[in-house]
Amino acid sequence: MNGRGNVGVRLAEIRRQRGLSQEDVARHLGVSRPTLVAIEKDVRKVRPDELVRLAELYGRTVHDLLVGAAMPVQPSFRVTDSAAVPEASLSEAEEAFRHACEDMLRLERDFGDLPRVRREPEAYAVQGLGPRAAGADVARSERDRMGLGDGPVGDLAGVLEDRAGLLTFSVRLQEFRIAGMFGYSEVLGGCVLLNASHPSTRARWTLAHEFGHFLMDRYREDVEVLYRAGRKSEAEARADQFAAAFLMPAEGLIRRVRSVLHTRREFTLGDLCWLADLYGVSVQAMALRLETVGQLPRGSWDGLEPSGKVQRARREIGLQSGARAGIRVPDRMRRLSVAAFQAGEITESEFAALLRRSRVEARDMLDRMSRREELDDDGAGLTLDLDLSTGLELAAAARE
Amino acid sequence: MADEVWDTCCVLNLIASGQARAVLRSRPGRVYVIREAMRSEALYVYSYPSREELLPADWEALVADRLIGITDVAPSEAPAFVQFSERLGDGEARCLAVAEERGMTLVTDDRRTIATAQKTVTPVRVVTTPEWAHHWALSEHVPPSVLREAILRIRASPRYDPPPSHPLASWWHHNLE
């Protein structure tokens, strides 16, 4: 906890993140610039009324200013067209990302009794390889390292957190054109922010793409632009190639297509939709991937896209459409938040804010995480109350 | 009787109970919420009994009917608010600061806030959800079926149950039978 004794450093840091000058903030508080400098250097203690007004100006809570952790992450963006996205929207998204990372860092600092295990792979050296070869090679290596085989990956964010140390946050951003952000810091590792308003298939693609940056361009900081006319940078093309190969490994796809052909001798639009659903990607992404791996003729997707046949086919085979990515915080953040709340170390408003949920949703999540329905020896229902706030005593023999 | 300041967690339980108006009329003092605490986060309750929809918690209708008053942290209360904010979220810290400075009763279920209220220089009286439900049931002679329904709603939507150590935990569960 900072306490009010040394809150100045944090105030200065947040002011810089918000792109405000000392003059701007001093004027807002009605003090001179030297006074603000003294506050930010902890030479002059910030007064309570000043702290309240600074919290309003910075869009943070007073509690956050007092106990929050500093997060030196400079995120890179993934946006539809940077020229069309207002600077204010990029700032809002960046603030949401920093805030989420800071909350994670604070939980680790104050409540992470056991150090987090980060199965973080070394960055891959891909210089000299073309985007396609680099993306395919790294995707294969990572799938092997994580023991994923060549099938679909269910909970992608959970798998990447567990096996690659990548922390994924998904929050609703006002600006729909921002798909996601990636940032890396030594203290937290790789962090990704996804736009929860996006379709889940698109969010998965963004996550796989950002994972590609984590593996191949970890220390890069820039804005990535989607769908803009012209050539993509090599790093972006590489991350796209990686995403396609990682989400839809060629070997597994070819096997499944052959299995369909073996049974029915034709591969239909319904099969394409089913395969896309199975792998959690859009029909377009699946069609283009099948073209790349030689299972569909080049140009197949171009012939399908404008006809509306895809939507009809999805409906006919009973597939739901339009699911949104939804709100998400890393599994470890959820566990640490629940443990801290159960131990009475944080309040309910903090708990809900950490989970990026409303109060009732947070209580629901707490209920789900702290109870377990099982059957007793006689087959009767049994509810176990789980206390996540205290560690289990492991037998010494088990540790040896 | 002392006026009361209600923390957001208890306001949610109150609205979910389906008996907000009756409960508020049974309170011994005037009931207040803190404007900033209520507006700083979106408040929802699940539909009952299906729990399929998140519905906005309509506390403003209770304000419009003058059953709840709105107040803010006064400038003179800012030091207490900031002091409590070192331990509590802003919403809880605002409520506790107002309760302490104005001698009001704090209505909350939040464990950390209750623990902090017990350590204030001027003691702050705390009332929890089972206590206001119990007071309502006794003072208004609420029929058991109505009480049971209110408790069921509070359990189902905002998922509140008193901790086993709460003095009214057995009363709460007894009224569900």
Spatial distance between the Cα atoms of A188 and A184, rounded to a whole number of angstroms: 7
Q: How many CA atoms lie within 13 A of B150 on its CB side?
A: 26
A353 in reach of chain B (CB within 8 A) = yes
Interface membership of B128 toward A (CB under 8 Å):
no
**Greater model confidence, A299 or A316:** A299
Instruction: Identify the weakest region by mean pLDDT among A77-91, A117-131, A197-211, A363-377.
Output: A77-91
pLDDT at B51: 86
pLDDT value at residue A399: 44
Q: Note the pLDDT of residue A1.
A: 45
Binary contact (B8, A49; C-beta < 8 A): no
Q: Which chain B residues are Cβ-neighbours of A358 within 8 angstroms? A: 41-44, 54
Which one has a higher pLDDT value, B112 or A75? B112
Q: pLDDT (tens digit, 9 = 90+) per residue, A243-291?
A: 999 999 999 999 999 999 998 888 988 999 999 999 999 999 999 999 9
d(CA A345, CA A338): 10
Position A304 pLDDT exceeds 90:
no
Mark yes or no for CB contact B89/A61 under 8 Å.
yes
Place of tokens 């008193």: B162
Mean pLDDT of A122-146: 93
Q: What is the mean pLDDT of residues B146-151?
A: 97
B17-31, pLDDT tens digit by residue?
A: 999 999 999 999 999
Of A22, A30, A17, A100, give the one whose Cα is nearest residue A64: A100
pLDDT above 60 for A241: yes
| Tokens describing residue A336 | 């640490």
Q: Which pLDDT does position A181 carry in this prediction?
A: 87
Q: Measure the CA–CA gap between A8 and A35, rounded to whole angstroms.
A: 12
What is residue B31's three-state secondary structure? strand
pTM: 0.89
Distance in angstroms (rounded) separating the CA atoms of residues A371 and A387: 9
Write out the two tokens for A43: 């030479």
* Any B CB within 8 A of A6 CB: no
Task: Tell me which DSSP letter residue B120 carries.
Answer: S
The residue with greater pLDDT, B137 or A310, is: B137
Q: Looking at the complex, does the CB of residue B48 fall below 8 Å from at least one CB of chain A?
A: no
What integer is the mean pLDDT of B130-135?
98
Question: For residues A4 and A400, which has the higher predicted lDDT (pLDDT)?
Answer: A4
Query: For chain A, what is the mean pLDDT?
Result: 86
A358: nearest CB among B44, B82, B88: B44
A268 — contact with chain B (CB < 8 Å)? no
- How close does chain A come to B91, measured CA to CA in Å? 7
Picking from A1, A62, A361, the nearest residue to B82 by CB comes out as A62
pLDDT given at position B35: 93
For residues A210-226, give the mean pLDDT. 76
All residues of chain A having their beta carbon less than 8 Å from the beta carbon of residue B160 are 363
Q: How confident is the model at residue A212 (pLDDT cuts 50, 70, 90)?
A: very high
Identify which of B43, B86, B111 has the shortest CB distance to residue A358.
B43
Q: CB-based contact (8 Å) between B12 and chain A? A: yes
Residue A109 scores a pLDDT above 60 = yes
Per-residue pLDDT, averaged over A50-72, amounts to 90
Chain B nearest-CA residue for A340? B112
Q: For A382, list phi and psi in degrees, rounded to 5.
A: -140, 125
Q: Does A56 touch chain B if contact means CB atoms closer than 8 Å?
A: no
For residue A324, the one-letter residue type is R
> Under a CB-based contact definition with an 8 Å cutoff, are residues B139 and B111 in contact?
no
Contact yes or no for B159 and A348 at CB 8 A: no
Task: Mutate one of B51, B85, B101, B155 to test the A interface: name it (highest A CB count within 10 A).
Answer: B85
**Predicted local distance difference test score (pLDDT) of residue A397:** 46
Q: What is the SS3 string spanning chain A?
A: CCCHHHCHHHHHHHHHHCCCCHHHHHHHHCCCHHHHHHHHCCCCCCCHHHHHHHHHHHCCCHHHHHHCCCCCCCCEEEECCCCCCCHHHHHHHHHHHHHHHHHHHHHHHHHCCCCCCCCCCCCCCCCCCCHHHHHHHHHHHHHHHHCCCCCCCCCHHHHHHHHHCCEEEEECCCCCCEEEEEEEECCCEEEEEEECCCEHHHHHHHHHHHHHHHHHCCCCCCEEECCCCCCCCHHHHHHHHHHHHHHCCHHHHHHHHHHHHHHHCCCCHHHHHHHHHHHCCCHHHHHHHHHHCCCCCCCHHHHHHHHCHHHHHHHHCCCCCCCECCCECCHHHHHHHHHHHHCCCCCHHHHHHHHCCCHHHHHHHHHHHHEEEEECCCCCEEEEECCCCCCCCCCHHHHC
Q: How much is the pLDDT for A76?
A: 65
- Tell whether the model's pLDDT for residue A77 goes beyond 80: no
Using a CB-CB distance cutoff of 8 angstroms, which residues of chain A are in contact with residue B83? 48
pLDDT digits (tens, 9 = 90+) for B81-118: 999 999 999 999 999 999 999 999 999 999 999 999 99
Q: Of all helices (H) and strands (E), which one includes residue B71?
A: strand B69-71
Instruction: Look at A349 and B46 and tell me if their CB atoms are within 8 Å.
Output: no
Using alpha carbons only, give the angle B68, B73, B78 rounded to the nearest 5 degrees. Answer: 160
Would you say A99 and A170 are in contact if contact means Cβ atoms under 8 Å apart? Answer: no
Query: To the nearest whole angstrom, how far is the Cα of A372 from the nearest Cα of chain B?
Result: 16
| Contact residues, chain A, for B119 at CB < 8 Å | none
8 Å CB contact of A1 and B42: no
Domains of chain A, by residue range, sit at 1-70, 72-247, 250-323+381-399, 331-370
pLDDT at position A144 = 96
What is the ipTM score, two decimals? 0.94
Using CA atoms, how far apart are residues B89 and A55, in angstroms rounded to an integer? 13
Q: CB B90 to CB A345 under 8 A?
A: no
Q: What is the pLDDT of residues B29-77, one digit of tens each?
A: 999 999 988 887 778 888 888 888 889 999 999 999 999 999 999 999 9
Query: CB distance B89–A360 less than 8 Å?
Result: no
Residues in chain B closer than 8 A to A1 (CB atoms):
86
What's the confidence (pLDDT) of residue A235?
85
Residues of A in contact with B10 (CB under 8 A): none
Question: CB A48 to CB B88 under 8 A?
Answer: no
pLDDT digits (tens, 9 = 90+) for A335-389: 999 999 999 999 999 999 999 999 999 999 998 887 766 666 777 776 666 665 5
Q: Which two tokens stand for residue A353?
A: 């804010």
Which residues of chain A make contact with B157, given a CB cutoff of 8 A? 360
User: What is the tens place of the pLDDT at every residue in A315-328?
Assistant: 777 777 678 889 99
| pLDDT at residue A318, rounded to an integer | 78
d(CA A138, CA A144): 10
Whether the per-residue pLDDT at A400 is higher than 50: the answer is: no
Gap between the Cα atoms of A329 and A176, Å rounded = 19
Q: Give, in order, the Cα–Cα distances in Å from B161 to each of A123, A126, A127, B49, B152.
A: 49, 56, 59, 17, 10
Closest by alpha carbon to A34, among A23, A45, A24, A50?
A23
pLDDT computed for residue A85 by the predictor: 78
Size of interface A-B (CB pairs under 8 A): 96
pLDDT, residue A195, reads 94
Note the pLDDT of residue A4: 52
Question: Choosing among B82, B87, B108, which should be mutated to test the A contact, i.e. which has the most A CBs within 10 A?
Answer: B82
Report yes or no: A364 at the B interface, CB cutoff 8 Å: yes
pLDDT value, residue B99: 97
CATH architecture of A1-70: Orthogonal Bundle (1.10)
Domains of chain B: 4-129 (3.40.50.1010)
Estimate to the nearest angstrom the gap between the alpha carbon of A367 and the chain centroid: 24
Q: Which residue of A has its CA nearest to B163?
A: A342
Give chain B positions within 8 Å (CB) of A63: 85-86, 88-90, 93
The answer to whether the Cβ–Cβ distance between A66 and B85 falls below 8 Å is: yes
Condensed to tens digits (0 to 9), the pLDDT of residues A15-31 reads 998 889 999 999 999 99
